[in-house]
Amino acid sequence: MGDPASVVPLEFVAVKDSLSYEDVPVEILDCQVTRLRNKEVASVKVWWRSPSVEGATWKAEVAMKAKYPHLFPSNSTPA
């Protein structure tokens, strides 16, 4: 038996021809630099909005800047 509260309305899902959809990043919540043995890795906490779930995850800053530059202020300095 299904739960009617967990049904996602179709008008909110933008399904592509390949029958997939893309999560949409809403904003950058936080940033951190993790120090490994011989390098530092910059990460950002991203707030995502998707049809299935809303939430935040940590992602690599370089990858997020390359794919979603509009989320980063133009006057920010590289980490």
Q: Domain spans of the chain?
A: 4-71
Instruction: For residue range 23-70, list pLDDT tens digits in order.
Output: 778 889 999 999 999 999 999 999 887 655 668 889 999 999 999 998
Q: What is the pLDDT of residue 38?
A: 93
| pTM higher than 0.75 | no
For residue 48, the model assigns a pLDDT of 85
Give the residue, 61 or 15, on which the prediction is more confident: 61
Give which of 22, 77, 72 is closest to 44, Cα–Cα.
72
Q: Within its chain, how far is the Cα of 20 from the centroid?
A: 16
Sequence-separated (6 or more) residues with CB below 8 Å from residue 16: 22
Give the pLDDT score at 72: 87
| Structure confidence at residue 25 (pLDDT) | 86
